[in-house]
Amino acid sequence: MKLSQLNPGEQGTIVAFTDLEMSVKLMEMGCLPGEVVEVERLAPLGDPIAIRVAGYQLCLRKSEAAVIIIQ
Amino acid sequence: MADIKVALVGNPNTGKSTLFNLLTGLNQKVGNFPGITVDKKVGYCKLAEGRTAEIIDLPGTYSLYPKSKDEGIVFQVLADKSNSSYPDIIVLVADATNLRRNLLLCSQVADLGLPMLLVLNMTDMARKEGIHINVNMLAKRLGIQVVAMSARKNDGLETLKKALANTTNISTQINGVDANLFASEAISAVKQKINIDNDYYALQVLHQHEHLTFFTPQEQQEIEAIEKEFGFESSKLQGAETVARYRYLSTVLTDVIFDTGAERKFKNTDKLDRILTHKFWGFAIFLLILFVIFNAIFSWASYPMDIIEGAFGWLTTVGHERLPDGLLTDLLLDGVVAGLGGIVIFVPQIAILFAFISILEDTGYMARVTFMMDKMMSKVGLSGKSVVPMIGGLACAVPSIMAARNIESWKDRMITIMVTPLVSCSARLPVYILIISIIIPSESVWGIINKQAIALMFMYLVGIAAAVIVAWLMKFLIKAKEKSYFIMELPVYRMPRWKNVALTVYEKSKTFIFEAGKVIIAISIVLWVMASFGPGDRFEKIDQKYATALADTTQNTDHINSLISSEKLENSYVGILGHAIEPAIRPLGYDWKIGIALITSFAAREAFVGTMATIYSVDGGDEDTGTIRERMIASKNSVTGLPIYTFATGISLMLFYAFAMQCMSTVAVVYRETKSWKWPMIQLVYMTAMAYVAALVAYQFLK
């Protein structure tokens, strides 16, 4: 399942990434395999999304969240 | 000269600049990094035993691998021993409330092998949130001094200064991750080829050498060859390194950090976000804030602006009375002082705008605006992060274009730079106000709404609409080098740090005066010379023509003098230029006098009112718009005998000023930011063409 498919309030654990270049950036920001992520809220227009990961809030576009495979 | 150089390195939102301000106070300046066209913030700080430290504030970054132009500076400075900013000591500033992510950068920097120490900032907040950190054990595991601080509360500063004084030039840190795990053959090859002794530095060079300017072309080729030979896969290796570093940090932080209340931290932020990023209230509040900013720029700023205007007017008058008559006095007062007045007048508006922007950024609200606007902005080829430069464009495009640096994607950044000057800046305001006061009657609709205010708002909307449309077109024209992305931290809400706000306002205003000032004073002098002299003996002939009339004491000499000066202006170099371009601008409804104003405005728009004042020979410069206004209304076209400033000409002129690239400072800053003449030239041409066409269409339809 992709992170972009979660609704606000739902959680998942990162297992893998489908885009190498994007994964480097995401991992630097603390989105590592094994981390629990929770979707906090959507932006008023439905995109980007705000997630809670590694003890802080991060926002990213849905297309970027689609790169993150979760369980 | 400072005894030691200290560089502040850290993630964004860690209170790094607060610490910088705390260490240096007002003793700071903005300069340039040698070879890198990015502002460098430097300050000085007194340590114990009369030693001074030079403190350099490097841009915030999450990793040594840069995602934006700003972030790239960090490694460029730390990598180049010959750079004059190369530090003796690195102070790594980390947010204690989010230690693990902050230590990623710390471990990368540590592996470069420079002497360093770690500042754990915001320890008071961490304590409140139930996070306990064993500072001594952390220091032991990392092998460096660790100072717990709270820069906001001025807590721990003396300890930091002592620690700085204690730091020697021998690095003590324990190596975190062995760089040879990733590309050992390529590393040893690079080390051999270009005489490097640090493994991790060699690895970084392999990753980033394209952006490092201090390597010779031959060295670049050699590194490139090594990359090919050993099949160096940059992205893959960066990923592997990040994973290895986080694994190492987990070991470091075991039994060092105790988090007992991770949830508490977000409670207030969560509550605020529910309202501030709400579907309806989020936008409503944002619009309200924009309205307050606008109102402040236009109404609050008018008081200090009146005072500044009065002061410069007084200076000119008194100067003319007291100083001996002559060319030098004229040059000084009508050239330099008038030019200077034209810049200083904008300082209140710029100061207010930057005060608001820095409060919005400091509280964390700006990140939410970016978050809310991203979808809308990405539709027209911009990014949520373009909102900040676009709002800043209302004051001045120059600092706003520099603010576009934190947009990671090259394409988004370019489009933002290209369209920001279309947003109506404060220099257009005097032009709009003068023309609106001529062509729009000061009447109210329904008793409350002023027609002139509506016209002014319309001009601002025209500018924003043009920016959006051009951005949308450029989205198809500019080829992207890489994918646009939007991964951004949403910091928790905090109270603004008023001292930071005050310092930002002070810094930005100072930079504006000096950067724009240089250009405008130069232009004012050139303009003054061109308006005061003419080719051949034309001026003498004019003097001779009126000599008899002047000698006649029964006539009004003031009137004759003003006739002389306007005739001289027509025959001066600018007058001749104005006549030369008249055929091109006649279809827009302009005559040669407006032509002169257009020429002078190509340097800076604010020159319009001043030029008009000179052309209509109103004594005392531009502090008396009322009189210029009356003369402009009365002026007739010399051929047709009809008034020049009709509704059609006025609208045409305002549209020209709304679109045309009439600002040398902006051209210069775009060149500086894009490092090529290509982009400023494209911008100059497209904006001027757009201005010409819009003015032409408007005039031909309305006349």
Tens of pLDDT, residues B143-197: 999 999 988 788 888 899 888 888 888 888 888 888 888 888 888 888 888 888 8
Most confident of A7-11, B348-352, B395-399, B671-675: A7-11
Task: Flag whether pLDDT at B261 surpasses 80.
Answer: no
The answer to whether A52 and A40 have CB atoms below 8 angstroms apart is yes
| Closest among B98, B500, B15, B14 to B266, alpha carbons compared | B98
Contact partners, residue B217, CB within 8 Å, separation at least 6:
none
State the pLDDT confidence band at B139, using cuts at 50, 70 and 90: very high
Q: How far apart are the first and last CA of chain B?
A: 66
Arithmetic mean of pLDDT, B572-578: 86
Q: According to the model, what pLDDT value does residue B618 have? A: 42
Cross-chain residue pair A29–B487, CB shorter than 8 Å: yes
Residue B73 to residue B9: CA distance in whole angstroms: 11
Please check whether residues B633 and B513 belong to one and the same domain. Answer: yes
Cβ-defined contact of A22 to B485 (cutoff 8 Å): yes
- Which residues, in sequence order, are CB contacts of B257 under 8 Å at separation 6+? B99, B100, B131, B132, B133, B134
Look at residues B138, B166, B194 and tell me which one is the last residue of a structural domain. Answer: B166
| Residue B172 contacts residue B115 (beta carbons within 8 Å) | yes
pLDDT value at residue B599: 83
| Residue contact B246–A29, C-beta within 8 A | no
Q: Does B489 sit within 8 Å of A56, measured CB to CB?
A: yes
| pLDDT tens track for B169-178 | 888 888 888 8
> Alpha-carbon Rg of chain A, whole angstroms?
11
- On the question of pLDDT at B61 being above 80, the answer is yes
- Residue B69: which of B41, B106, B34, B36 has the closest Cα? B36
**A42-51, B79-88, B327-336: range with lowest mean pLDDT:** B327-336
Q: Which of B204, B210, B238 is nearest to B224 (CA)?
A: B210
pLDDT at A69: 92
Q: What is the CB-side half-sphere exposure of residue B148 using CA atoms within 13 A?
A: 15
The reported pLDDT for the residue numbered B622 is 39
* Residue A68, pLDDT score: 92
Tell me the per-residue pLDDT of A21-56, one tens digit each, with 9 for 90 and over: 888 889 988 898 988 999 989 998 888 999 998 888
Average of per-residue pLDDT across B263-270: 73
B53: left (phi over 0), alpha (psi -120 to 50) or beta: beta
Regarding whether B161 and B95 lie in a shared domain, the answer is yes
Buried-exposed string B80-119: b where 16+ CB fall within 10 A, e elsewhere: beebebebbbbbbbbbbbbbbbbbbbbbbbbbbebbbbbb
Cα dihedral B31→B35→B38→B39 (10° resolution):
-10
Which segment of B8-12, B229-233, B285-289, B326-330 scores lowest on mean pLDDT? B326-330
Q: Give the per-residue pLDDT at B538.
A: 80
pLDDT of residue B640: 65
Q: Which domain holds residue B159?
A: 4-166
For strands B4-10 and B89-95, give the pairing.
Answer: parallel
As a whole number of angstroms, the distance between CA A29 and CA B582 comes to 59
Count how many residues are written for chain B. 703
Q: CB–CB of A51/A3 below 8 Å? A: yes
Domain identity same for B563 and B464 = no
If asked whether residues B469 and B579 sit together in one domain, one would say no
Which residue of chain A is at minimal alpha-carbon distance from B63? A28
Q: Which helix (H) or strand (E) holds B442?
A: none
Q: What average pLDDT is seen over chain B?
A: 83
d(CA B615, CA B644): 14
Contacts of residue B524, Cβ cutoff 8 Å, sequence gap at least 6: B335, B336, B338, B339, B342, B607
- A50 CB within 8 Å of a chain B CB: yes
User: How many whole angstroms separate alpha carbon B616 and alpha carbon B593?
Assistant: 9
Q: Are residues B469 and B505 in the same domain?
A: no
| Of residues B278, B375, B485, nearest to A45 (C-beta) | B375
Residues B435 and B510 in one domain: no
How far apart are the C-alpha atoms of B593 and B574, rounded to whole Å?
A: 10
Could you give the residue ranges of the DSSP H alpha helices within B112-147? 123-128, 135-142
Last residue of a domain, one of B446, B477, B508: B477
Per-residue pLDDT tens digits for B349-381: 778 878 888 898 888 898 899 899 889 888 888
Looking at the domain assignment, is residue B54 inside a domain?
yes
CB contact (8 A) between residue A43 and residue B375: yes
Q: Which residue of A has its CA nearest to B240?
A: A24
Residues B503 and B468 in one domain: no
Looking at the fold, whether B473 and B515 belong to one and the same domain comes out as no
Q: Judge contact between B548 and B542, C-beta under 8 A.
A: no
ipTM: 0.94
Please list every residue in chain A whose beta carbon sits closer than 8 Å to the beta carbon of residue B208: none
**Res B39: pLDDT:** 65
CATH number of the structural domain spanning residue A35: 2.30.30.90
* B466 shares a domain with B535: no
User: Which residue's entry shows tokens 């757009």?
Assistant: B690
Q: Do A64 and B101 touch (CB under 8 A)?
A: no
CA distance B244 to chain A (A): 11
Beta strands, E only, B590-650: none
Question: Is any Cβ of chain A less than 8 angstroms from the Cβ of B98?
Answer: yes
Among B102, B129, B242, B273, the strongest candidate for a mutation testing the A interface, having the largest count of A CBs within 10 A, is: B242
Distance, in Å, from the CA atom of B601 to the CA atom of B599, rounded to the nearest integer, reads: 5
pLDDT of residue B265: 64
Q: Are residues B586 and B642 in the same domain?
A: yes
State the Cα–Cα distance between residues B656 and B689, nearest whole angstrom. Answer: 10
What is the distance in angstroms between the Cα of A26 and the nearest Cα belonging to chain B? Answer: 8
Element housing B46 (H / E): strand B36-46
Task: Kindly state whether residue B237 falls inside one of the protein's structural domains.
Answer: no
Higher pLDDT, B473 or B674: B473
Domain count, chain A: 1
A70 strand-pairing partners: A14
Considering only residues B585 and B546, tell me which one the structure prediction assigns the higher pLDDT. Answer: B585
What are residue B30's DSSP bridge partners?
A: B41
Domain count, chain B: 3
Q: Which residues of B touch A50 (CB under 8 A)?
A: 273, 277, 371, 490
B432 shares its domain with B563: no
Q: For chains A and B, count residue pairs whose Cβ atoms are closer than 8 Å.
A: 110
| Chain B stretch 479-508, residues whose beta carbon is closer than 8 A to a beta carbon of chain A | 483, 485-492
Instruction: Name the A residues in 13-32 with CB < 8 Å from any B CB.
Output: 20-30, 32
| Gyration radius of chain B's alpha carbons | 30
- Which residues make beta-bridge pairs with A45? none
Taking CA atoms, A53 is separated from A17, A30, B258, B268, B367, in Å, by 15, 7, 18, 18, 17
Phi, psi of B91 (to 5 degrees): -105, 115
Q: pLDDT grade, residue B624 (50/70/90)?
A: very low
pLDDT band at B468 (very low <50, low <70, confident <90, very high): very high
Q: How confident is the model at residue B33, as a pLDDT? A: 54
pTM of the model as a whole: 0.80
Between vectors from CA A42 to CA A37 and to CA A45, what angle results, nearest 5°?
155
Q: Would the pLDDT of B663 be above 70?
A: yes
What residues of chain A lie within 8 A of the CB of B273, using their CB? 40-41, 50
User: Average pLDDT for residues B458-474, to the nearest whole number?
Assistant: 92
* Partner residue facing B279 (CB), from A44, A54, A56: A44
Our CA dihedral for B521, B522, B524, B525, rounded to 10 degrees, sits at 120
CA distance B234 to chain A (A): 9
Contacts of residue B486 in chain A, CB cutoff 8 Å? 48, 59-61, 64
Per-residue three-class SS string for B548-600: HHHHCCCCCHHHHHHHHHHHHHHHCHHHHHHHHHHHHHHHHCCCHHHHHHHHH
Q: Which amino acid is at B585?
A: I
Q: Measure CB to CB from residue B104 to each of A28, A43, A61 and give the nearest one.
A: A28
CB < 8 Å to A39, chain B: none
Give the gap in angstroms from C-alpha A6 to the nearest C-alpha of chain B.
18
Confidence band of B274 (pLDDT split at 50, 70, 90): confident
Q: Which residue range(s) make up the domain with A23?
A: 3-70
What pLDDT, on the 0 to 100 scale, is given for residue B621? 39
At B470, is the pLDDT very low, low, confident or very high (cuts 50, 70, 90)?
very high
- Contact criterion met (CB below 8 Å) for B404 and B413: yes
Flag the least confident range among B322-326, B361-365, B567-571, B616-620: B616-620
Q: Which residue has the higher pLDDT, B554 or B78?
A: B78
What is the C-alpha separation between B179 and B244, in angstroms, rounded?
Answer: 10
Do B518 and B464 share a structural domain? no
Name the residue in chain B with its Cα closest to that of A63: B485
